[in-house]
Chain A
Amino acid sequence: MDCYTANWNPLGDSAFYRKYELYSMDWDLKEELRDCLVAAAPYGGPIALLRNPWRKEKAASVRPVLDIYSASGIPLASLLWKSGPVVSLGWSAEEELLCVQEDGAVLVYGLHGDFRRHFSMGNEVLQNRVLDARIFHTEFGSGVAILTGAHRFTLSANVGDLKLRRMPEVPGLQSAPSCWTALCQDRVAHILLAVGPDLYLLDHAACSAVTPPGLAPGVSSFLQMAVSFTYRHLALFTDTGYIWMGTASLKEKLCEFNCNIRAPPKQMVWCSRPRSKERAVVVAWERRLMVVGDASESIQFVLDEDSYLVPELDGVRIFSRSTHEFLHEVPAASEEIFKIASMAPGALLLEAQKEYEKESQKADEYLREIQELGQLTQAVQQCIEAAGHEHQPDMQKSLLRAASFGKCFLDRFPPDSFVHMCQDLRVLNAVRDYHIGIPLTYSQYKQLTIQVLLDRLVLRRLYPLAIQICEYLRLPEVQGVSRILAHWACYKVQQKDVSDEDVARAINQKLGDTPGVSYSDIAARAYGCGRTELAIKLLEYEPRSGEQVPLLLKMKRSKLALSKAIESGDTDLVFTVLLHLKNELNRGDFFMTLRNQPMALSLYRQFCKHQELETLKDLYNQDDNHQELGSFHIRASYAAEERIEGRVAALQTAADAFYKAKNEFAAKATEDQMRLLRLQRRLEDELGGQFLDLSLHDTVTTLILGGHNKRAEQLARDFRIPDKRLWWLKLTALADLEDWEELEKFSKSKKSPIGYLPFVEICMKQHNKYEAKKYASRVGPEQKVKALLLVGDVAQAADVAIEHRNEAELSLVLSHCTGATDGATADKIQRARAQAQKK
């Protein structure tokens, strides 16, 4: 395995560093990197180059070009820079390119060179110009720090939620600091700057001088400083060629190194690995690259070309005109396995598997050796882990094969780690491919998460690959495939050269009814691109009508929105649209719209009944709904109007409406009510007492009870109260008065239209048996039995029933016979029955 460790370089006793090629670049650069502003996003992100920067005082007429490449050098975008001079470029965490202009304006571009937005860093920056700028990443997002011509700092910790902070002044600062950086500690962004031999830390409140502990003497200036990826460590390069490495809090020194090169380095970045104890810094000069750490010796590389360093979570990427390399500390698992003469279990297992393939019995020996030490599980784990850190698929495969081989000899080895590693590596190899160009390491991938990786693929419009990954990893559709399809659709609607029909059809074909896809979101995007018709077409595919409504309203398709809201069955939604319509349309049109939508109309009517009575009336008027108008005025006649004149007028309007509605019956009844009201008023005036609002029936009753019989009869005639009802009325009223004399007179006034049974009933109700009996004798033969029973004359009832020979009457009487007293009667009936049967 000697050849495999050929590119391993020891640093001190405990760590190896290796550098391997990621891609050979054929990006055909016209200019040297040193002539460009360069920005490369972490996590294998894109590279932006702005050629012909202004510092090279070339002819101002030549417009510079902004190029964006993938990490493998594939051009993604190229655009002519038309805005002002750019001081600094940087990528945000969302892979948006931030271009800081000299005037403090920050222009934001997408990965494909599409302009997104811009913002300004404030007036102070505008006035004093930007001297230098840094883009940095915090847990909130991406920040921008700016050094102005007045040697003041302004920063924003999150460009997504822009809050500008002007940092305090550094006392006595006359010239630009020799070097500076943004630090992020305790969730707050600071600025660390070096002026001559002094270091200052700026937070939002104060400026404080700081000294790194254990700094070698004789430093008169700091030439370069570097903060680690996680903001935990800081490295300082002094003019004496001395490098100090410690914690970013400046409380602790980790190590130091003297490289004896006094020339200021071009770049200095940290190269460490999470959870590793090793600390190292990579320093780059024009033709030299040096890795220094806690060791007396450093690792040195020669740079053949102009190169650029990109700090990563677990190493450093180095790219130049022709190559793109990765430099990192060899991970522990790999070191254990591949270190020369290693006897680690993983190393033995790898060896065993190789021998096994050669069909050599040595395989067994190695295996035994591991098993005797009881380290087989550990061996398998080591192989799996090491595979993750390998870049070459061949090496990944042989390590995984070894792990798989070892697993065979283990009883209960949980398969998850092996399966997941295979899956992860497959995904990683796919995105590392030259055409995709995202050279993620396993650690970076785990830090980034699959979701973000998918987002990045979507951002690169690599939809098929993203979907394949989702399907391969069996991600739930909502998080995976649907989301990607939705993004694809949003991209698709921006293709202006394709017709609305084609786009809509294409989208529907691909998306179908995939769960979790929101057609309304896609439609909103289409509308955002000014394609209203397309948006409406897309909304047709949206299964939830509720989702369609807000966008339709936004697009001013209110009527369509109304029908959709009604379809949704959500009355709140309908109401929202109604109010929208009410404000948008003139009253007539609004009513017309309502007229075609009965459900909305009922809803609005309900609302008007409580809140806007006048509108309700207008609604009925508009519809020529005379019936409802009539009802409306009737209601008004007793609910809204107080004065009698007003009430009569309301009733008159109601009657007119009813006539128009051809509802003669209601019209007549209303007119009767008007007459009654007037009459009641007169009665109150003349007789005193309470008559208003009584029903006709109650009015007549009240009159009789008050002894105004004449008036009562007059009223009954006027209003044509049917005879039967009048008789019932008078009967009840007189009995209530216990005016038996008048009652008798009344009963004899003419033949009763209701018969005389009611008289018996009512008298009995007043417990007047005497009077009741009088009327019982006058009851017709059909009801005689009932009448007699009512007055309690069971015996006579029996006689009548027997005489009638009516079976039903007989049993009725029988049911009234109670025990002892009516014993004889009961017998009589039984006899009569028996006789009837004989015949």
Chain B
Amino acid sequence: MAFPHRPDAPELPDFSMLKRLARDQLIYLLEQLPGKKDLFIEADLMSPLDRIANVSILKQHEVDKLYKVENKPALSSSEQLCFLVRPRIKNMRYIASLVNADKLAGRTRKYKVIFSPQKFYACEMVLEEEGIYGDVSCDEWAFSLLPLDVDLLSMELPEFFRDYFLEGDQCWINTVVQALHLLSTLYGPFPNCYGIGRCAKMAYELWRNLEEEEDGETKGRRPEIGHIFLLDRDVDFVTALCSQVVYEGLVDDTFRIKCGKCHGPLLGTSHMAGLVFNEIRNEHFSNVFGFLSQKARNLQAQYDRRRGMDIKQMKNFVSQELKGLKQEHRLLSLHIGACESIMKKKTKQDFQELIKTEHALLEGFNIRESTSYIEEHIDRQVSPIESLRLMCLLSITENGDARCSLDTHYGPEHLLTFSNLRRAGLLTEQAPGDTLTAVESKVSKLVTDKAAGKITDAFSSLAKRSNFRAISKKLNLIPRVDGEYDLKVPRDMAYVFSGAYVPLSCRIIEQVLERRSWQGLDEVVRLLNCSDFAFTDMTKEDKASSESLRLILVVFLGGCTFSEISALRFLGREKGYRFIFLTTAVTNSARLMEAMSEVKA
């Protein structure tokens, strides 16, 4: 059932090197503080850290006790404290409170702060303001690429989305640049580069500058990865807002996969990997149960072979096969459990109707019905996040024509959430047409000027409007289906949304790769409001092997969903490409909404 790759599909580069690099660097940093020490780890870093260096490795390098960085006084009695944190001001304040408490108590210890993936000047300044800059030593753990899968690298920076797309804070772009630089030093230069989005363009240009400065390192290396495609999340919010129906995406929506591990109530904590999972992850959910039961039957058949075995055969069976079977058995029951749990939640009327509504929104028919569905959703006050998501979907697909009333009866903080959604362009209100065109013409006059960037910034909240319908038509995102869409034998990338919709982001990537440029896509780019931010860059010298030219690195700035990954994996199989995904974090609709929410602290 899992689709095999075409025989000529290129081999993926070995990304385990990234893990080794990160581990070695961390060990080096820990050794900088010789002797026993307690390690304080920021919650967000725990899962990634676990995939790089487990507790026993930490213990080997004299880490005594592990603590979580939280707003509580530390109970550590160690003479040396080491903090492993993201460069955030609140972490600095936490450390400062600890150090200052020690000072008051007349206690002197050694403190070391390891920032991952980099140190920010603002953090150092806070340390200085708090009067402890001289008491702590600072280091950087340049760990920015976590291989979650053979083809998936995550920067594990979910905050990228809010920081950049809402707050306009560019601090993480440099981290992306460094990550790209690391990849190009390890795996050779990228001969063909494409991208769309303001952030993509900026990151790309900064990275190019860096490469030029450190000329020679990558020069002359044969490229292993032939193409790189950078894409801003705000180019395609729609795909990320949809409910996922591919197995891995659905598991993520239901239980949340964190750092490649799933923390579901039924599943316990389990690794999202292994044979069984690899076969079903990219499948439409409707196929999964059938597959699992087939699998179970096969397993049973293999167990059944025991009957009629003689002693010798039995011995052989027990020593060689049983372990594998048991392992498979365990995984199988795990996924069946997950399926059951998902079924319980998702196959109900509600879910079917929800999906139906979403598809109607995507296709742009029965708007009235969809709107009343959403209104009812709000009236029932089921889940604020879910209601927000539907409202955003409605608003974007209908180009700001959100006919349902926005209501704040969820509480005052949601007033702020609304304003956030609007600022990020997830919610577009119907604005009088002439205002918009006035702004647009004003901007276009200044496009040649450098100042234009600033003005577009200032007006971005106004000028941002979604042209989803037109884009959808241009790119043929809604496949014409004659009869039933056979989800068992997918025809196109739309299978990840039950055949109803081809993910916009993936379609853009497909089109650009086909043309090797943006040629002929001008109208689409204009409709995406990205006229200034779509770029192609090819190096003239053609040293790339045909194999490497079929390896494509896709960089999602602001996160990507499992559905998009599955869709592109499908595209890869069809065309003989292999895609490698680099994302700031794996995301889904709920994470997107939560990132925009203002919550009471």
Contact = CB atoms under 8 A, between A and B. Distances in A.
- Indicate whether A and B interact: yes
A607 B89 contact: yes
Interface in B305-350: none
Interface string B438-480: 0000000000000000100110000000000000000000000
Interface residues of A, number: 48
A569 B408 contact: no
Interface stretch (B13-21, B119-127, B389-397): B119-127
B209 A697 contact: no
Contact of A569 (B206, B409, B601): B206
Contact of B169 (A602, A672, A722): A602
A670 interface: yes
Contacts of A666: 415, 419
A725 B379 contact: yes
A521 B280 CA distance: 59
Interface in A572-625: 572, 575-576, 579, 596-599, 602-603, 605-607, 610-611
A571 B408 contact: no
Given A610-B90, A631-B416, A571 B170 contact: yes
Contacts of A697: 381, 409-410
B601 A598 contact: no
Contact of A579 (B89, B125, B379, B411): B125
A598 B168 CA distance: 8
Contact of B379 (A597, A611, A722): A722
Contacts of A572: 120-122, 174
A575 B122 CA distance: 7
Interface in B383-412: 406, 408-412
A571 B412 contact: no
B598 interface: yes
A669 B408 contact: yes
B514 interface: no
B380 A634 contact: no
Contacts of A672: 408
A544 interface: yes
B169 A571 contact: yes
B415 A634 contact: yes
Contacts of B486: none
Interface in A668-684: 669-670, 672-673
A696 interface: yes
B413 interface: yes
Contact of B457 (A543, A579, A598): A598
A578 B475 CA distance: 44
A570 interface: yes
Interface stretch (A118-126, A183-191, A485-493, A635-643): A635-643
B173 A607 contact: no
B375 interface: yes
A515 B170 contact: no
A603 B171 contact: yes
Contacts of B205: 569
B170 A603 contact: yes
A732 B379 CA distance: 11
Interface in B107-140: 120-122, 125-126, 129
B202 interface: yes
B215 interface: yes
- Majority SS at the chain B contact face: helix
Contacts of A575: 120-122, 125
Given A544-B213, A603-B169, A670-B412, A635 B380 contact: no
Contacts of A631: 415-416, 419
Contacts of A290: none
B600 interface: yes
Contacts of A569: 170, 173-174, 177, 202, 205-206
What DSSP secondary structure best describes chain A's contact surface? Answer: helix
B44 interface: no
B219 to A, nearest CB: 12
B167 interface: yes
A544 B415 contact: no
Contact of A602 (B168, B215, B375): B168
Interface in A513-553: 515, 543-544
A520 to B, nearest CB: 13
A634 B415 CA distance: 8
B433 to A, nearest CB: 19
A607 B379 contact: no
Interface in B203-242: 205-206, 209, 213, 215
A215 B446 CA distance: 92
Contacts of B416: 631, 634-635
Interface in B181-206: 202, 205-206
A409 interface: no
Given A571-B174, A611-B89, A611-B126, A673 B412 contact: yes
Contact of A606 (B93, B126, B169, B381): B169
A512 B467 CA distance: 46
Contacts of A651: 412
Nearest to B460: A598
A602 B209 contact: no
B406 to A, nearest CB: 7
Residue among B89, B169, B376 facing the most chain A CB atoms (10 A cut-off): B169
Most buried by A among B205, B381, B454: B381
Contacts of B458: 598
A300 B381 CA distance: 114
Given A571-B170, A724-B379, A728-B380, A639 B412 contact: no
B171 A754 contact: no
A607 B121 CA distance: 11
Contact of A635 (B163, B168, B177, B598): B598
A696 B409 contact: yes
Contacts of A695: 409-411
Contacts of B410: 695, 697
A450 interface: no
A113 B345 CA distance: 89
Contact of B381 (A544, A603, A693, A729): A729
A568 B411 CA distance: 41
A783 to B, nearest CB: 12
A729 B167 CA distance: 36
A153 B90 CA distance: 60
Nearest to B406: A665
Interface string B58-86: 00000000000000000000000000000
B85 to A, nearest CB: 14
Interface string A717-731: 000011011001100
Nearest to B172: A571
Contact of A728 (B89, B379, B409): B379
Nearest to A753: B379
Contacts of A607: 89, 122
Nearest to A627: B419
Given A515-B215, A602-B167, A607-B122, A724 B411 contact: no
Contacts of A610: 89-90, 93, 126
Contacts of A673: 408, 412, 415
Contact of B600 (A611, A638, A724): A638
A672 to B, nearest CB: 8
B209 A544 contact: yes
Contacts of B206: 568-569
7 contacts: A571-B171, A606-B169, A631-B416, A631-B419, A669-B408, A695-B411, A725-B409
Closest 7 CB pairs of A and B: A602-B168, A610-B89, A572-B121, A571-B171, A725-B379, A695-B411, A669-B408
Interface of B: 89-90, 93, 120-122, 125-126, 129, 163, 167-171, 173-174, 177, 202, 205-206, 209, 213, 215, 375-376, 378-381, 406, 408-413, 415-416, 419, 454, 457-458, 598, 600-601
Given A571-B171, A606-B167, A672-B408, 17 more contacts: A544-B209, A544-B213, A571-B170, A571-B173, A572-B120, A572-B122, A575-B120, A579-B125, A599-B457, A603-B171, A610-B93, A611-B129, A631-B419, A635-B413, A693-B600, A724-B375, A724-B379
